[in-house]
Amino acid sequence: MSKPRILTGDTPTSTGLHLGHYVGSLENRLKLQSEYDCYFLVANVHAFTTLADKPEQIRANTIGIVKDWLAVGLDPEASTFVLQSEIPAIAELTFLFAMLIPFNKVMRNPTLKTEIETKGLGETYPFGFPMYAVGQCADILTFRPDLVPVGEDQEAHIEMCRDVALKFNQMYCGVGNRVPADEHAKAGGLFPVPKAKIGRIARLVGLDGVNKMSKSLGNAIFLYDTAKDVQKKINKITTGRQSPTDPGDANNVLMQYVDAFITRDRADELKSRYAAGDNLGDGHVKQELGEAINLLLEPMRVRRAQLDGDKGDALVTDVIRRGIKKANVVAEETLLLAKRAMKLEFGARVIG
Ligand code: TRP
């Protein structure tokens, strides 16, 4: 039996993944990478939808993301690292899939709408911006995965991808309208209908206690912040609580982090004492939390420091090249099968 497949990815609009990425998706990737055949994609073409005038930055971020992955512990031997711009099948399937999604549905996609707002894209964003949602369907389906580990903010995209898979299978592979999504592959559909796998913490709140953790909002703890900076950032969290004997809010930002980063039993104990005002000060909680987060991050910092040395960039380039080769084998196979289903096949081609 071959292993079930995973595909997921990150867009190199910035480098420096943070704790929100970690609990939303990276943690799942680490946990699943031995049981699944994993494809991790750097969506560098998508980065051009908002940074078309900054190619150097996109290139540097691309290398930075791969370093982040390696430092976190994603393993390019066990998994396949995919550089989107070097996989022609993704671009070709994007165009073909664009025919299977109503234009109005793309424009109603809530993830796109939120991004247009939070990134301040106004009315003048390029055509390619909403198009990236169709591109994401192709990123995923090119590798015919079963699961897509993502943060909650990506759910709308995965839903659209499922729609495309269903429609393709029905339109071109003869799968009946009543066949349930789970059984499409068995019923002759080319694309298994993939499921989103949301992280342990669907939405990690930022240090401000209000918004989602995000680099652009300046409320993030990065995986490579120094131990000192991590503790400093945590010490600055404000809860409004005055004394260790005040009954605290067990859902405030501090307690959400306790839930996310301190082991279960201890977290429960801290939360119930905090809520009861059982002589537990914010300062004590912050200290313990900082230590727990630093314990998690320390091995990543060490690996990242090694990759930032002289040989790091060359190693990353090598990892990327090997990934492209492996990825194109699967991608070309999918494209050929898709073209065959669409009566578009007039002789195979080979891409090196
Ligand atoms: N849009 C995703 C993000 O911004 C990144 C991404 C691109 C992705 N292609 C993907 C995620 C395919 C999952 C599957 O986080």
Counting DSSP H helices and E strands in the chain, the numbers are 14, 5
Ligand 1 residue neighbourhood (C-beta within 6 Å): 7-11, 41, 43, 46, 136, 139-140, 148, 150, 154
Query: For atom 14 of ligand 1, which residue has the closest CA?
Result: 8
Query: For atom 10 of ligand 1, which residue has the closest CA?
Result: 9
In Å, what is the CA distance from 334 to each residue of 144, 204, 211, 329, 340?
8, 35, 39, 9, 10
What's the confidence (pLDDT) of residue 52? Answer: 96
Give the SS3 label for residue 205.
Answer: strand
Distance 130 CA to ligand 1 centre (A): 13
Mean predicted confidence (pLDDT) in 311-320: 95
Query: Per the structure block, which two tokens stand in for 182?
Result: 């789970």
pTM of the complete model: 0.92
Which of 154, 164, 215, 216 gets mutated to test ligand 1 (max ligand atoms within 8 A of its CB)? 154
| pLDDT tens, position by position, 236-288 | 999 999 999 999 999 999 999 999 999 999 999 999 999 999 999 999 999 99
Distance 42 CA to ligand 1 centre (A): 8
Query: For atom 8 of ligand 1, which residue has the closest CA?
Result: 9
Distance 136 CA to ligand 1 centre (A): 6
Give the SS3 label for residue 176.
Answer: coil
Contact yes or no for 22/72 (Cβ under 8 A): yes
By CB neighbour count within 10 A (0-12 exposed, 13-18 middle, 19+ buried), where does 116 fall? Answer: middle
More confident residue, 217 or 240: 240
| pLDDT tens, position by position, 23-63 | 999 999 999 999 999 999 999 999 999 999 999 999 999 99
Contact yes or no for 146/6 (Cβ under 8 A): yes
Q: How much of the chain exceeds pLDDT 90, in percent? A: 88
Residue 216: how many CA atoms within 13 Å on its side-chain side? Answer: 7
How many Å apart are CA 276 and CA 280, to the nearest integer?
9
Which of 10, 119, 131, 141 gets mutated to test ligand 1 (max ligand atoms within 8 A of its CB)? 10
What's the confidence (pLDDT) of residue 1? Answer: 66
Nearest-Å Rg of the Cα atoms of the chain is 22
Beta bridge mates, 46 = none
Distance 141 CA to ligand 1 centre (A): 12
